[in-house]
Chains A and B, each alone.
Chain A
Amino acid sequence: MRQLRRNRAAMLALGVIVLIVTACLLAPFYAHVIAHENPFASNITGTIRLNGKTVNVLQANTQGLGYGVTPIGPTWHFSNYFLGADDQGRDVFARLLYGGRSSLYIGASSAVICVAVAAIAGVAAGYFGGAVDWIVSRIFDIIWAFPVYLLAISLSVILETNGINFLFIHIEQGSLTIPILIIASVFIPYVGRPLRGIVLSLKEREFIQAAIGSGASDFHILRKEILPNVAPTIIVFFPLMVAFNMLTESALSFLGIGVQAPQASWGTIINDGLGLLYTRPLVGIMPGLMIVLTAGALNVLGDGFRDAFDPKAKLRGSI
């Protein structure tokens, strides 16, 4: 921990993350100050007061043949439409904040699920070996061999059309849970395989052998011997997975099969922005920058974690 605190880059990254997270999470409390409109309601025929003048949020083209309608650009007034409007006349800045909520929420919770499941499966496979190992490894193989985006997309296409109604599980189409589950499941092997490997090598080590020899219960060994040794890896994996999942979420949403309207995420906002790339590029660029910033910070933090928790890094001295 101390080591981590000493890592200036990691601390900076942590700062950035905390800032973004709080900014997004608190959005409901102050966003209305920025955007007078509800950032989820279209405001196509609306108007705003801008330094004294009343202007349309969506402005019909006046030059040439006069085809096309363009949303208002950045006003750089925090009072409203700081970053301008999207094609629905919604405040982009406010949507960035709300979108961040979903993006972070999906990224984090899918990472939790993914890492948790992967850890259990991977450790079990590595520790118990035999049939357990065979089955788990095969499942890993299959998910692994299923082209990631193809798997994610096919799942999304299906689930977004009719939601999940499996036994007692019932998830509404358009619920955030769907992308979360999809993303989580797709990346399980990426975490599970290395963990399995670590456990396998651990099992060869004397102290485990000793523990097994001394007839300690599996549970005891897993908890007291294995867990402490895989924990660092898991910790290191976590922020990276969050970043990874956020990127995937944005990719899916960008393809129109991640987060569904009226929900918004940075990915969907990029998607909205594409339609305005030539007239109002900021709409598409800003959420991208947010993703880069957040994912980047998470990666730096992950490096920090690795340096701090990965024993390997400690053992290696200067000689």
Chain B
Amino acid sequence: MTGLMSMKRVGALLSSFAVCALGVAAITASTPAGAATGYQKQHAGGTVKLLASTAAGTLDPQVNYTLQYWQLYQATYDGLVSFQKVAGAASFDVVPDLATAMPKVTDNGKTYTFVLRKGIKFSNGKTVTVNDVLSSMQRLFKVSNPNAGSWYNVIVGGAACLTKPATCTLKGGVVVNAATNTVVFNLTAPDAEFLDQLAVPFGSILPSTAPSKDAGDTPLPGTGAYEFKSYNPNTGLVMVRNPYFKVWSAAAQPQGYPNEIDMTFGSTVESEVTAVENGQADWVFDPLPSDRLQQLSTKYASQLHVNTLTADWYLPMNTNLAPFNNLKARQALNYAIDKNAAVSLFGGKLLATPTCTILPPGFPGFVQSCLYNKGTSSTYAGPDLAKAKALVTASGTAGMKVGLVVTNDPVNEAVGQYVLSVLNSIGYKATLKPQSANIQFNYIQNTKNKVQISLTQWYQDYPAASDFLKVLLSCSQFHPGNDNSINIAGFCNKTIDAQMNQAEALELTNQTAANKIWGQVDQALMKQAPWVPLFNPKQIDFIGKRVGNYQFSRQFYMYVDQLWVK
């Protein structure tokens, strides 16, 4: 109940960060590694039944910003380029999709030239033309795409489109030539992430006939293997095969297996799980209730799939507000929290690992260390309440009121309750403020709301230390009084900032040296303790007994269109 709505939002976070700063990987992208086995006809057909507690809003691929639908868009829409449809790390690679090849990049990174594939048809039977590409790019602004102002404004003419979307032309920004079937993007400045930004569903190419406003509940034609047949936010949506689809690149848009893909909304997670257990459905979108994990991992082990996510669950502390403007207070909490407790609230050691650093394990620059620990080992051993209490007294912040803001889904609230009792045990007067994730995420960012400490998550999308360290803890990411100030701790340290810039600069030339510095940055940050890092979670998928060919993309998670129900 309470949680479901917000859990979907957690999905939203996933995707939103999934696109925060793509890059490096894209450049290295070259040959499609996946789909080597080839299409296995005998498994084609049938209907895949997916369950989600609630709908995720508009179906418009250029507006919707939730993992829940981005997962589906993979099979329904294509951009000029897209993320490779394979399992494993290669799923971060960008490959040509509607474009015949990766673009020719000239004018030191400011001009991208694509050649559009010929003869590809939309699900409404119309052929994809360069004009569709142009109109789709203009449409990004007309429907006021969430990131129009932060990503696509890099296109020449984008700025104008932001101020006057209705009359958006992107003149000189997107130049198409029907004769040569080419599309040229001119950027105001080089942008390493531009291709990634074209590869996400926002970059989908839609018919030029698509309405120049948010299409809401009405499905738009696409080029993918499937098309949306119907959508009702209260009951569910149906995807069927796109009659005009022919495989042009299995790596970009493979042929799907099921004839139909249904997603049904409106039941509780508990009953969703029950339904899959009873073979009434094939997959649950929402995170599994921890209450059911035991039952699942014993009775339905074969139907569970667990994948490592390089992500953090952490407690950002407001470094500009008492008591956590006091370093000792922040360190005290780092000592006091028992990360194993948080882990077991999340579902146990097998589903999450305690962490003491900002960078997840196995990350470039990651150095195994644990500054605030019982004893001196570099791996997490447990809390040290004595030290914690001592620090609180030393900080002179004992007895202060502390408000902890968490989202009101079961897991977050459980962890929140635990942190609450820790705060009280080390001498603060703490209260819990559960909020719908929908509000909480912006609420904790805005300094106006005077949030002292909160619980939140950060999911990576491509392996680069800057994605964590710079995005979350550099001065440039702190915007007081703004709902979008992702540096939630409001932490700003000039020397560390300098270090980060140095590391980033170095990355272009010497990755290893850069990583070394990133590691030091991580250490330096933890000395300042703007966060309490809790653990690195894993993703569990629970699929029906009859389902085969489960494949997991690091980018958009399970491929629904590749599931076998025959």
Contacts and interface: CB of A to CB of B under 8 A. Distances in A.
A172 B420 CA distance: 17
A67 B294 contact: yes
Interface stretch (B23-31, B43-51, B204-212, B338-346): B338-346
Contact of A44 (B345, B413, B416, B439): B345
Contacts of B417: 42, 88, 261-262
Interface in A39-73: 40-42, 44-45, 58, 60-61, 63-70
B533 interface: no
A312 B322 CA distance: 63
A306 B351 CA distance: 58
A173 B433 contact: yes
Contacts of B2: 255-256, 271
A40 to B, nearest CB: 7
A279 B420 contact: no
A34 to B, nearest CB: 19
Contacts of A65: 297-298, 301, 304, 306, 350
B340 to A, nearest CB: 6
A40 B420 CA distance: 10
Contact of B299 (A64, A160, A256, A260): A64
Interface string A73-109: 0000000000000011000000000000000000000
Interface stretch (B55-63, B148-156, B284-292, B488-496): B284-292
B297 A44 contact: no
Given A262-B432, A278-B291, A67 B421 contact: no
B297 A68 contact: yes
Interface in B484-540: 540
B348 A261 contact: no
B298 A174 contact: no
Contacts of A255: 1-2
B348 A45 contact: no
B435 A261 contact: no
B293 interface: yes
Interface in A240-281: 255-256, 260-262, 271, 274-279
Interface in A89-140: none
Interface in A4-24: none
Contacts of B292: 68, 278
A257 to B, nearest CB: 9
Given A44-B418, A67-B350, A67-B351, A278 B295 contact: yes
B432 A68 contact: no
Given A44-B338, A60-B349, A67 B420 contact: no
Interface string B344-388: 110111110000000000000000000000000000000000000
Given A63-B297, A161-B433, 10 more contacts: A40-B424, A42-B418, A64-B296, A68-B291, A68-B294, A68-B297, A260-B434, A261-B416, A275-B290, A277-B291
9 contacts: A42-B341, A58-B344, A67-B293, A67-B296, A69-B290, A88-B418, A88-B421, A262-B417, A274-B1
